[in-house]
Structure 1
Amino acid sequence: MGVSKKASGGAGCLVLFALPFAAVGVGALGMFAWTVSSWVSMQSWREVPARIDCVGLVESRSDDSTTYRVEAEYAYEWEGREYRGDRVSVHTGSDNVGSFHRRAAAELEEHRDSGRPFPCFVNPDDPSQAVLYRNPRIEMLGFMLIFGLVFGGAGFGILGAAFFGGRAARETAALRERHPDAPWRWKKEWDAGVISAHSKGKMFGAFAFAALWNLVSSPVLFFVPGEVQGGNTAALIGLLFPLVGLGAIAVAVYFALQWRRYGNTVFEMDAVPGVVGGMLSGRVRIPTVVLPEKDAVTVLECVRRVTTGSGKNRHTSEDILWQEESSVPRRALVQESRATLIPVRFLIPPEQPPTDEEDPDNQLLWRLRARMAVPGVDFSAAFQVPVFRTADSPAPGAAAAADDGTVVMALDEAGNAIPDPAAPDPAKTGETLRRAGVLTVPAPGGGMALAFPMFRQPGMALGSLVFTGIWGGVVALLFKLHAPFLFPAVFGLFLLILVWASLDLYFGSSRVEVNRDGLRARGGLFGLGRERRVAFSDIAGLDARKTMQAGNTLYYSVAVLKHGGGKIHVASRLRQDAARAVVHALETAVREYGGPPPSLEGVRARGC
């Protein structure tokens, strides 16, 4: 069974990779424990005066750093007998953590030169054992603890992943052998049709990441003050890493609050698998009663996950190939005695690719997400769902041949347009536009206008402002440090792009009007851009297509296509439902104010 052998080989490589990390971590933690134990035992040692005879500061230089070790020889008396000692500190060896060695060397040299005695601590049970500095250095204890936890945590974490991953791989291999022609049965939860959001695992993963990040970055707090005091102000950049660590802790705490509030949420599928060209349906089961403030939202998306590089250069990115969002009214939620159910129903286009996880570095995944605004902690969950092409799937291209997306108007005997019963609900379209911050207003002289006001997306605008501010600080620091011209020039050019994007988010606005004279649109900063007009006879269609991806959200722009080529930009940075609502509103207005000329039989909304 090839899969099992591959999994076993991969697990074996992970074990070999993890063992050195685990060993280093155990060694560092052992040194930490030995230092603390020595310090505790030294608390019973007796203080006596010592004569400092010899002092030296040993420097060890390498390509990357310089370490220090203070050495000393001293004499002391215990019960009338003279002893000699050379142990300086409870810590042994050399290091460059803090300035202890240089300070101690200077202090001991001063006592040697002046002849003044220095406090010495003697073991009463073995007077040959003595030390000058018996208290541990907090920064060294912190460094050893952090070093041990980081390496030990990484090593044992990888060992755990190898063990549990190997077991999961063996289970998958057994299911593959049992169902070779049904890949949707190769995972236990897929086979059962009950898929967990793994909220508990995400919570522990977030805490593990936060702990690892903060353990790795916290030594910066020990080094930065000394560097700044020495005139190296550039070291302040290092404080960004602990700040990111605080953000990681906040995310982990939020996941913990979600887990405590909503428990183990699952998606119960009506049928396994979801069918390309067919349906994916079921319900999200939350094991508690939830009373949301607004409608629930479910999202189904097809994602390509690509991993490149290896080792520390390994990078994983996701590209959303297709996404569908559905609003679930509060009245459609099912409340049980100890659970809340969110109904899920999506039609999957026949041209979309099925799930493909054969190549771990280039996977096609289908993901279902659900969210609700709830007082306190909002609900959100994500599920990796099986979507495959089955015998029920139409042949690729069949749907496109049957329906090319053209919207054809039916006319009554008087030549007036007959309302399409399948057309979008105007009330729902209006509500979607309002949620997106788009205003529907009467146009001067009759007609309809859609206004996209300034500061329409405050969250995105604030995030852009913060990022631009941080980037601007980096550029300013590059100039202050007299970095080579190329670096501040390139970073400064990108800063200008960020500033323009922020200005557009805060002060960009647009307006599109439809009346008897046709369609006209104007946009730009403060809405002062050039006005563009198009007659109804020149409109070839309405186009809505993906232009940006931010996290798990796709954003669309809407344009009016013209016969003979060219287009008029109408709006941007719209979520899918808002982009569709804009298209539907404009399509309705064009039909209402432009009549049913033959040219409008080709009006279509593409891309979403």
Structure 2
Amino acid sequence: MELSVNNKKRGNKAGAGCLTVFGGIFFIVGVGIFLFGLASIYSSLQANDWQPVDATITRVEQVISRGDDSTTYGVNGAFQYQYEGQTYISSQLNFYTGTDNIGSYQQDFYYRLKQAKENNRTVTAYVNPDNPSEAVIDKEIRWGMLGFHSIFLIVFGGIGLGIMLAGRFAKKKLVKQNELQQLYPDEPWNWKEEWQTNRFKATTGTGFKVLLGFAIFWNLIAIPASVMAMIEYFKTFEHQILIVLLFPLVGIGLLIAAFVAFMRHKKYGQSELVLQQTPIAIGGINRGAINVPNDEALSQTFGQPIAAVVTLSCQRKITTGSGKSRSTKTKIIWQDDRRVTSSTIGHNTSSYSFEFKVPEDLPQSDDSNPNNRVEWVLQIERKQPGIDLKLDFTLPGFVVAHRVALAESETDLFGSSFSERSFEGGSGGQVSPDGWRNLGIEDSVTSQGNRYYFSAFRHLSFAVGMILFGLIFASVGVGISLFGDAPIMFFIVFGGLGTLIFVLGLRQLTYRSELTVRAGQLQLSSGHLQLSTPRVIHRDDIQSITSHSNMSVGNKQVFHITAMLKDGSKVILAKNLLMRSDVESFIEKIKYEIGMTAR
């Protein structure tokens, strides 16, 4: 243990140092490019007192630089002028060197000089009276270039400064964490300062700041890029350029999401989760309560209990790639949920009690590898008019020997100091036998038995999201292949992947099934446009009926109900169901009605 702790210390110190160096590079680049732009502005301001003279264009050419993503322009040339009876030649046309595509300045400037040369007209140049060999034709400030250089200051400089501050904060946090590791070498749940209590704050503040920062970063890039793309479009009328407009639309969506996150933080940011004992015990029983102060919903229900969903998840976050290809995926390892009702404590404060029995052999909290982290997260959700109640709490989850496999009736002396008052009135860990009604099932009694119908369009937002995403992907592939010069592989990858996602979304949207249960048998029909011919499954052929999950919608597992037959085959009885407790309630109901269990 000591060796691994020391290795982790060295790794964390190196990581904090790398953050500072990496951020410093970004900061220097951003500030450097901005200062380079300011140098041109300073020269323009210095030239305010320069003297105007007539000049003759002796040479002018348009410089065009074509890259993979854009075309930039510049102007090279020379002019001749006289000052105080002496002739001079200058090749400095303005105070901006190189090529760019900020507006149409370079093209317009070239056209102006070209016309003057072809028509043998003079142009006005401005001479430095202190150094007559120094002169320019255009001494004006290009505000568009200032905006362009400011983007580097804000984006690169801002990100660099943020990374440097994060590195400094991480270093301070690391020092404190190392002290705690020395005090509690065999208790990793005590290694973080925020884990030194059984009270936890929601992550709404952090989530809002991260989302807002990303929205600002996205729009700082997307909006200028879209403006330049539209300028290019009105010159060339190449329709594939319009695809760039998708990026500011995404930016608007991000800003709306950030606003909703801010309002949620403002409304519920003071909410607190109180665990009976810290940490979440893997293999043990875990109890706690979520207290929501200033809960306006209480007044709307006149003090009546309010239902909410509490979900406990063990998840792994895996980060792959780097740069533009960097992505983070969240895989749910285990998840359980409860429908709980509120109790009122204090003034206008609602409290939601919960209880979870966590199975053994689940991974412990682990952030030693930032690219492969294990987290334990508890979430509470409550749908309501306006801003929904939706809070996440990141908790420590570890194996604690004295809390493993405690029976519900047993008393844990280590937790005896916790006030049980926090759990009065809540539904705690009880799973309602009628929880299956929350699955959106249409149930009825027919001459053939109890009929349960799972209609289509039950997960409308998820399915429509897949359909739209698939359409966009496919449209990009087809559009650029038809109107651009993209290789056929671009069409195959984008068009094919988009079409696949589109079809999967349609299947998700239109899938429906019907299950009829009677004593001794099940009758199943399913399909998309129409139901299939009913299949009859006899009770004696069924080995077991269980639920399993192989996908998730957002941060929620999606469950299928499967009948395992004695011949080794499997039959899916229902698909795309949310809430493990509700699914288990439905399974128990089916098993009872078919005669596999007794209540």
Deviation at 1:325, TM superposition (A): 1.1
Which residue in 2 is equivalent to 1:429? 436
Q: Which one of the candidate residues 355, 365, 381 is aligned to 1:371?
A: 381
Match of 1:297 among 303, 306, 309: 309
Shift of 1:521: 0.7
Which shows bigger deviation, 57-66 or 483-492? Answer: 57-66
Residue aligning to 1:590: 594
Deviations 1:464-495 (A, max 9, x none): 22113212312421541475444434544444
Q: Which residue of 1 aligns with 2:94?
A: 89
The match for 1:316 among 302, 325, 328 is: 328
Q: Does 1:205 align with 2:210?
A: yes
Q: Does 1:307 align with 2:309?
A: no
Pair 9,556 (structure 1): closer, same or farther in 2 beyond 3 Å: same
User: Is structure 2 residue 553 aligned with structure 1 residue 550?
Assistant: yes
1:535-557 deviation digits (Å, cap 9, x = unpaired): 22222221211021122111011
Q: Which residue number corresponds to residue 238 of structure 1?
A: 244
The alpha carbon displacement at 1:462 in A equals 2.0
Contact 1:54–1:73 (Cα < 8 Å) also in 2: yes
Q: Are residue 469 (structure 1) and residue 471 (structure 2) matched?
A: yes
Structure 1 position 182, deviation (Å): 0.9
Which sits farther off after the overlay, 82-91 or 245-254? 82-91
Question: Among residues 163, 168, 172, which one is paired with 2:168 in the alignment?
Answer: 163
* Alpha-carbon offset, residue 454 of structure 1: 2.1
Deviations 1:233-273 (A, max 9, x none): 33333333333222222222222222222234332222112
Indicate conservation of the 8 Å contact 2:476/2:495, yes or no: no
Aligned partners of 2:60 and 2:113 also within 8 Å:
no
> Secondary structure at 1:333's aligned position in 2?
strand
State the match for 1:537 in structure 2: 540
| Alignment-mate amino acid for residue 281 of structure 1 | R
On the 8 A contact 2:375/2:394 being kept in 1, the answer is: yes
Q: Which residue of 2 aligns with 1:176?
A: 181
Q: Are 1:380 and 2:378 an aligned pair?
A: no
* 1:596 alignment counterpart: none
> 2:426 maps to which residue?
none
C-alpha spacing 1:508/1:482, structure 2 compared with 1 (3 Å): farther
Residues 36, 337 of structure 1: CA spacing in aligned structure 2 closer, same or farther, 3 A cutoff?
farther
In structure 2, the CA distance between the partners of 1:221 and 1:563, relative to structure 1 (3 Å rule), is same
Among 152, 160, 163, the alignment partner of 2:157 is 152
1:512 paired with 2:524, answer no
Quote how far apart the aligned CAs of 1:132 are.
Answer: 3.2
* Aligned residue in 1 for 2:279: 273
- Corresponding residue of 1:350: 360
Letter of the structure 2 residue corresponding to residue 564 of structure 1: D
Query: Judging changes above 3 Å, is the alpha-carbon distance between structure 1 residues 536 and 158 closer, same or farther for their aligned structure 2 residues?
Result: same
Compared CA separation, residues 115 and 51, structure 1 to 2 (3 A) = farther
| Structure 1 CA distance for aligned equivalents of residues 495 and 80 of structure 2 | 63
Change (3 A) 1:489 1:19: closer
Q: Distance in 2 between matches of 1:74 and 1:483?
A: 43
Matches within 5 A, 1:15-30: 15-30=20-35
Which secondary structure state, in structure 1, belongs to the residue aligned with residue 376 of structure 2? Answer: strand
Which of the numbers 324, 328, 346 marks the counterpart of 1:336?
A: 346
Structure 2 residue identity aligned to 1:248: L
- 2:269 maps to amino acid: G
Shift of 1:6: 3.2
Query: Which sits farther off after the overlay, 8-17 or 481-490?
Result: 481-490
1:132 partner amino acid: I
Q: What root-mean-square deviation, in Å, do the aligned CA atoms of Structure 1 and Structure 2 show?
A: 3.4
Structure 1 residue 573, shift from structure 2 partner: 0.9
| Deviation of 1:335 (Å) | 4.2
Q: Which amino acid aligns with 2:21?
A: L
Aligned partner of 1:390 in structure 2 is 400
Match of 1:257 in 2: 263
Distance 1:288 1:125, change over 3 A: farther
In structure 2, how many angstroms separate the alpha carbons of the residues matched to 1:260 and 1:123? 58
The corresponding residue for 2:454 is: 452
Structure 2 residue ranges without an equivalent (≥5): 1-5, 301-305, 409-428
CA contact (8 A) 1:59 1:66 kept: no
CA distance in 2, matches of 1:559, 1:74: 84
AA aligned to 1:305 is K
Alignment-mate amino acid for residue 324 of structure 1: D
Secondary structure of 2:196's aligned partner? helix
Counterpart residue identity of residue 531, structure 2? L
TM normalised by structure 2 equals 0.84
Partner SS, residue 89 of structure 1: coil
Q: Percent identity?
A: 28
Counterpart position of 2:420: none
- Counterpart of 2:529 in structure 1 is 526
What are the Cα deviations for residues 150-175 of structure 1, in whole angstroms up to 9, with x where unaligned?
Answer: 21122212111110011111111110
SS in structure 2 of the partner of residue 110 of structure 1: helix
Give CA deviations for 1:387-443 in whole Å, capped at 9, x if unaligned: 2111224479x99xxxxxxxxxxxxxxxxxxxxxx996444433x13xxx2111112
Structure-2 change in CA distance of 1:337 and 1:120 (3 Å):
farther
5+ long unaligned stretches in structure 1: 400-421, 592-599
Q: Does residue 574 of structure 1 match 2:557?
A: no
Closer, same or farther in 2 for the Cα pair 1:374/1:425, shift >3 Å? closer
Q: Contact 1:299/1:324 (CA < 8 Å) preserved in 2?
A: yes
**SS of structure 1 residue aligned to 2:116:** helix
- Bigger shift: 515-524 or 49-58? 49-58
Letter in 2 for 1:514: V
Choose the corresponding residue for 1:565, options 549, 565, 568. 568
Partner-residue secondary structure (3-state), 2:504: helix
Aligned counterpart, 2:60: 56
- Aligned match of 1:116 in 114, 121, 139? 121
Separation in structure 2 between the aligned mates of residue 345 and residue 501 of structure 1, nearest angstrom:
36
> Would you say the 8 A contact 2:511–2:527 is kept in 1?
yes
Q: If the length of structure 1 is used for normalisation, what is the TM-score?
A: 0.82
Shift in alpha-carbon separation, 1:268–1:482, aligned structure 2, 3 A: same
Change (3 A) 1:52 1:296: farther
Q: How far off is 1:218 after superposition?
A: 3.3
How far apart are the structure 1 equivalents of 2:163 and 2:330? 24
Using a 3 Å threshold, how does the CA distance of structure 1 residues 112 and 490 change in structure 2: closer, same or farther? Answer: closer
AA in 2 matched with 1:567: K
Name the amino acid aligned to 2:286: L
CA distance in 2, matches of 1:46, 1:15: 45
**Which deviations, in whole Å up to 9, do the C-alpha atoms of 1:558-604 show, x marking residues without a partner?**
1223222223322111112442243133223213xxxxxxxx35x99
CA distance in 1, matches of 2:71, 2:485: 26
SS in 1 for 2:312: strand
Which 10-residue stretch deviates more, 361-370 or 233-242? 233-242
**Cα offset for 1:356?**
3.0
Q: How many residues align?
A: 564
